[in-house]
């Protein structure tokens, strides 16, 4: 925002609320922000956007990290969202099938995969269906692990790890992002190869990620906030889809798991951590 000419406390006032993965807290903060009657709200994830959209149809909202905003009912169309909501989507659902493919390439012995998903976020159902459709072609048995908090994450992974030849696909959601260190630690403890959607997981010790540059999506969101503050309507600003996905691999973690990353994957990786 500063690069676009906006300085907090000078020509713009920025209010922050951090609800984490707690739906009740998110709803409370959504009410607080709407009551302030701001010129624009930035909503990160469906968990945040849902209560905001329920409480206001007038205040402009720019979202990030929402897969399938059209199918989830957040916008009327991608090209012409209409209403008060627009933003940036992190992926097409086909990307999550690709994540399973990459996981299988790195750990070909895997026969069982637990998919960590958030039942609170509407788009997660579409992500699950995409993975479910492609799993038989890789000879993988899927388990849907619905998680809302740290306790459910720990229980789901501990239970899944009771049997051998398992791996994890961690879908992008508020609970998994907030509790990423817990997930990474459990995956290491149980020697479960895992694929994530954001590089933050791999930087913290996760095995591999395939997805967008999350920081860049927020920079793009700032451009829409700037345009709205200059008078444009969110309904006239098209929902932007990603044009590039990045592959990040942690070789140290692969070695700890006894895995050899294929040279073909290393050759196309955007970043390799050694």
pLDDT, residue 261, reads 97
pTM as predicted = 0.84
Same domain assignment for residues 130 and 161: yes
Longest dimension (CA), the chain: 58
CA dihedral 227, 70, 240, 64 (to 10 degrees): 70
Residue 195 lies in a domain: yes
Same domain assignment for residues 193 and 223: no
Same domain assignment for residues 48 and 124: no
What CATH number corresponds to the domain at position 264? 3.40.50.2300
Same domain assignment for residues 35 and 152: no
Backbone dihedral region for residue 15 (phi beyond 0: left; psi -120 to 50: alpha; all else: beta): beta
Of residues 105 and 66, more confidently modeled: 105
Domain count, the chain: 2
Residue with tokens 């190869």: 193
Same domain assignment for residues 98 and 84: no
% pLDDT > 70, the chain: 100
pLDDT digits 0-9 by tens, 123-156:
888 899 999 999 999 999 999 999 999 999 999 9
Residue 224 lies in a domain: yes
Same domain assignment for residues 194 and 160: yes
Same domain assignment for residues 54 and 168: no
pLDDT, residue 272, reads 97
Residue 2 lies in a domain: no
Mean pLDDT of 186-198: 97
Same domain assignment for residues 177 and 222: no
Same domain assignment for residues 65 and 162: no
Same domain assignment for residues 49 and 63: yes
Residue range(s) defining the domain that contains residue 75 = 23-90+214-236
Same domain assignment for residues 40 and 157: no
Same domain assignment for residues 100 and 45: no
pLDDT digits 0-9 by tens, 24-67:
999 999 999 999 999 999 999 888 999 999 999 999 999 998 88
Q: Are strands 112-117 and 166-170 parallel, antiparallel or unpaired?
A: parallel
pLDDT surpasses 90 at 72: no
């Amino acid at each position: 925002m500063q690069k676009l000419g906006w300085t907090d406390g000078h020509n713009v006032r920025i209010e922050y609320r951090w609800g984490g993965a707690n739906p009740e807290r998110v709803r409370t903060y959504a009410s607080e922000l709407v009551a302030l009657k701001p010129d624009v709200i930035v909503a990160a994830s469906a968990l945040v956007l849902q209560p905001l959209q329920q409480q206001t149809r007038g205040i402009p909202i720019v979202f990030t990290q929402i897969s399938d905003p059209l199918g989830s009912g957040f916008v009327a169309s991608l090209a012409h969202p209409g209403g008060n909501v627009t933003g940036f989507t992190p992926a097409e659902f086909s990307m999550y099938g690709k994540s399973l493919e990459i996981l299988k390439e790195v750990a070909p012995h895997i026969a069982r995969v637990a998919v960590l998903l958030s039942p609170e976020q509407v788009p997660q159902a579409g992500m699950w269906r995409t993975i479910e459709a492609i799993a038989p072609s890789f000879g993988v048995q899927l388990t849907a692990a619905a998680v809302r908090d740290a306790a459910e994450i720990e229980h789901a992974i501990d239970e899944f790890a009771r049997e051998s030849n398992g791996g994890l696909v961690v879908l992008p959601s508020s609970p998994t992002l907030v509790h990423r260190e817990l997930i990474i630690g459990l995956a290491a403890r149980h020697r479960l190869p895992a694929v994530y959607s954001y590089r933050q997981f791999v930087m913290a010790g996760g095995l591999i990620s395939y997805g967008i540059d999350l920081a860049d999506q927020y920079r793009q969101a700032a451009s829409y906030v700037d345009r709205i503050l200059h008078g444009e309507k969110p309904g006239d600003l098209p929902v932007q889809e990603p044009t590039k996905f990045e592959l990040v691999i942690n070789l140290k973690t692969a070695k700890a798991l006894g895995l050899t990353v294929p040279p073909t994957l290393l050759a196309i990786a955007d970043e390799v951590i050694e």
